[in-house]
Structure 1
Amino acid sequence: MPTSGTAFDLAAYTRDAAGSHRDAIGDVRGLGPDDLDLVGMLRDLEGGTMAYLRRVLVTPTHKDARVTAFLVTWSFERFWIADALGAVLGAGGREPDTPGAESVVGASDPRRGHRRARRGPVPRALGAFFAGPPLVAAHVASLAVDDAVLCAALAALAERVAVPDAADLFARLARVHERQGRFLVEEASARLAASEAARRLARRELRDEAYPLGLADRTAAERARFACLAFGAAPGSSALVAALAPVGALPGLDDGGIDALRERVLGGREPMAFDIDRYAASSVRLDWDDLDLDHFRAHPLPPGTLRTLRYMADVEYHTVCYTRDLLTTPSHREPEVGAFMTMWNREEFWHGEALAAVLGVHGITVDYDALKASRLKLGWRDRLDPVKQSVAGALVGADFIAVHMSWGAANEWSAITAYQRMAELEDDPVLAELLGRIARQEARHVAFYTSQARTRLAASRRAQVVTRFALQRFWAPVGSSIQPREEVRHVMAQLMSGEAGRRAARKVDDSIAALPGMDGLTIVQDALNGLGAA
């Protein structure tokens, strides 16, 4: 197969392979349980290269010296990625050599997994005999999807975790995958462009396979658990779409585009694996007793940042009033929604308490009297809100729950992004740790809202239409209904303006647009434009 036109330097890649990452591992303690679960899954997937080679080396792929040169180096790099992730597990109190207690990747049992996993080397070798050399292109294209998925999962972890050394390590590992992906995409592109048989085999491979490849011998529920942890929150959703874009553009594979590949990644189903019982059992108030808030007496935060933190505190405390409105809608009849709102309400209250503690060190008092006074100032508009919600819920019916879930997802995605941006802008270690703890709880809120929204939107075209209309016409940055416009403008300008801020806003919009029927929505960027936050 002529591939001399490729820009990828395979000789340099095999010579300069990335080995052990142990020297780059700093203090990676402090990851939450869900993040550690995902790290455990990724560790097992990265270390599963022998199972993959067992599948492909009984086919014509083993005769292609260029591809096997890559695979030798690829398996070496994946071994050391798995080693680094094992070290992270060890630092988090998990056994580094075996899956974590909640890991979905345990002892293999192909009988209960995806049908592709039940095909051993003999059936594969016989099938390859008839397929011939074009099968190599299908294998390379399939591995390109697998690489994109794992790269996206690591990149999303790097963006959302609040442990700086862990974030740096995950970003480093994602870069290893990015280099592997360049070879795979270029190689697949050349081979697919040259052969219709190769394109046909590749389409079949991507249609029938379960991704990531190492999860093929797991149940659908276990694969959904991985998808929920890796791609259920904002960074994961946008990272997945971005990582799959080059693969979706391969010759002959663009009939379904990124959406079709996304279905392959999710095993043909949406990541509806949010465990409400597990969430409720593990819900705790935010703890910051171990943080030295007196640090701020020597290193006070600037006035503009305190102004934003006060806004955030008011919004977190106001959650109970948002709950008031939602209890007048059909959402209150849903047991899972009720259980979630009970825990969510309490967790958000403690987010407000934590931010109030920081403000208190700076001489800014946020107590119950102050909160009551601010709520009384809202006047008749606030008193009408539950009436409006009740009427809307009565008119729309059960589909209104999809609006509630999608609206909540947009708000929580925005909240995580706001906390992450504040930590980046201030670069204060104590503030960053506190905001990171808040963001980790917010990530679980996103997972619930997103999983609920996807299912309800996918099940009803009417729900899609109503939700799209509501978001497009009425959504505004969280806090807009309780804060003066100049305060909203200040917060959005501080956190979402400039190149980095606008990039963060686009990621939130990308996550919202990935919901069924919401493609093309840019509600966050539209709100910023309306506020003049450039």
Structure 2
Amino acid sequence: MLFTDFDVAAYGRQDHGRILVDATAAAAEDLSEEIRADLAFLCRLDSAGLSEARALLATWTATEARITAFVATWAFARHQLGRAMRDLLAATGPPIRPPRRRSVASHLRSAYLETIMPLLAPVWTHVVGEPVVAGHMARLAVQESALQAAYRAVLPRLHGESARVVEEILRRREHSARFFRLEAEARISRSRREAVTARRHLGRGWEPLRVVGVADPDESRARSSLFRSPDARADLARATSILHDLLPASRRRPRTAPHRIPGRTSHGL
């Protein structure tokens, strides 16, 4: 078993409960429909934490007791982030209907995730073995980092109660982002096989701001709106490339700027 300096037991004891929203204060902010649509997009991503957890726990990665213990708490914590966004949206205007999927590919992908993946994932990940954990940790590290960048991007357009709620979401997400990053870094650095597996999981066809690889119907509009400024786009580029310095050189994606995050690791039984 691999250990990093992240204290999983202490994380489980933290307060992951509901983020209370002052509905009266939020209603007075008069958020634009564009901002509310951007928040709804982020709400759908965070509300799908259970789907991400299921995709992980249906594989060989579920045999890692330390990761399973963390994910059990993380899935609940991420659900609370999505719930806070739903409460904020409910306080600031009429309900926003989820956009309907238009792509045949999206429908097929969703059907695969719901019916076929739970049957096939345990088989092929058992063949790959432990290196698959590096791939899962890499994906979730980049996803949590990208979600941080998305919330940071929308924050300057908010004020008052809505800004407070987003700031609290960013504060809480620091812990999960750090866990997945340290786990990924430790495995990628430990062996070339794990590094190659992580590189493949982060390869072409996978995007961090999606739920288990399925694009949100509003993705194109939301990404253009959220990352409208050069600074926001640069922040997203840094967020999605946090592991690239550790990956094998071939197929490494271009970097916008050096971005090294320290983290001590150790191994034990």
Residue 135 of structure 2 corresponds to residue 138 of structure 1: yes
Q: Give the alignment partner of residue 106 of structure 2, picking from 98, 106, 113.
A: 113
Query: What amino acid is aligned across from residue 78 of structure 1 in structure 2?
Result: R
* Separation in 2, partners of 1:192, 1:245: 14
Work out the CA distance in 1 between the residues paired with 2:231 and 2:91.
24
Aligned match of 1:51? 51
Work out the CA distance in 2 between the residues paired with 1:121 and 1:110. Answer: 23
After TM superposition, list the pairs within 5 Å mapping 1:56-71 onto structure 2. Answer: 56-71=56-71
8 A contact 2:142–2:242 mirrored in 1: no
Unaligned runs of 5+ in 2: 258-269
Question: RMSD across aligned C-alpha pairs, in angstroms?
Answer: 2.8
Question: 3-state DSSP class of the match of 1:18?
Answer: coil
Matches within 5 A, 1:8-157: 8-22=6-20, 27-28=25-26, 29-95=29-95, 100-101=96-97, 103-104=98-99, 106=100, 111-113=104-106, 117=110, 118-119=112-113, 120-157=117-154
Displacement after TM superposition at 1:163 (Å)? 2.0
Supply the distance in 1 between the matched residues of 2:221 and 2:246 (Cα, whole angstroms): 28
From 166, 173, 179, the equivalent of 1:170 is 166
Q: Does 1:236 align with 2:258?
A: no
Q: Which residues in structure 2 correspond to 1:275-354 (within 5 Å)?
A: none
> Does 2:177 align with 1:181?
yes
Aligned to 1:247: 243
Whether 2:182 is the aligned partner of 1:218: answer: no
User: What is the CA distance between 1:150 and its match in structure 2?
Assistant: 0.9
CA contact (8 A) 1:134 1:197 kept: yes
Using the TM superposition, give the Cα deviation of residue 258 of structure 1 relative to its aligned residue in structure 2, in angstroms: 5.9
Report SS of the residue matched to 1:22: coil
Give the Cα separation in 2 of the matches to 1:237 and 1:116. 27
Deviation string for 1:95-118 (max 9, x for gaps)? 2xxxx24x54x56x8843298653
| Deviation at residue 253 of structure 1 after TM alignment | 7.5
Report the 3-state secondary structure (helix = DSSP H, G, I; strand = E; otherwise coil) of the residue aligned with 1:27. Answer: helix
After superposition, give the CA deviation of every residue in 1:123-158 in whole Å (9 maximum; x if it has no partner). 322221221111011101101111011111111111
Q: Relative contact order, CA 8 A, sep 6+: which one is greater?
A: 2
How many residues end up aligned between the 2 structures? 250
Higher helix proportion: 1
- Structure 1 position 214, deviation (Å): 1.1
Higher radius of gyration, 1 or 2: 1
TM-superposed deviation, 1:121: 1.6
Is the Cα contact below 8 Å between 2:51 and 2:212 reproduced in 1? no
Change (3 A) 1:256 1:164: farther
Match of 2:31, SS? coil
Instruction: Report the equivalent of 1:287.
Output: none
Query: Where does 1:361-440 land on structure 2 (aligned, <5 Å)?
Result: none
Q: Find the aligned partners of 1:218 and 1:148 in 2 and give their Cα distance.
A: 18
Letter in 1 for 2:91: A
Q: Secondary structure at the match of 2:242?
A: helix
> In structure 2, what is the Cα distance between the partners aligned to 1:167 and 1:235?
19
Q: Which amino acid aligns with 1:132?
A: G
- Structure 1 residue runs of 5 or longer lacking an equivalent are 260-513, 520-534
TM-score normalised by structure 1 residue count: 0.43
Which of the numbers 202, 207, 210 marks the counterpart of 1:206? 202
| Sequence identity percentage | 26
Q: Cα deviations across residues 332-360 of structure 1 (Å, max 9, x unaligned)?
A: xxxxxxxxxxxxxxxxxxxxxxxxxxxxx
Asked if the contact 2:195/2:247 (under 8 Å) is kept, the reply is yes
SS of the equivalent of 2:146 reads: helix
**Which of 235, 253, 256 is the aligned partner of 2:252?**
256
Q: Distance in 1 between matches of 2:161 and 2:106?
A: 36
Specify the SS of the correspondent of 2:58: coil
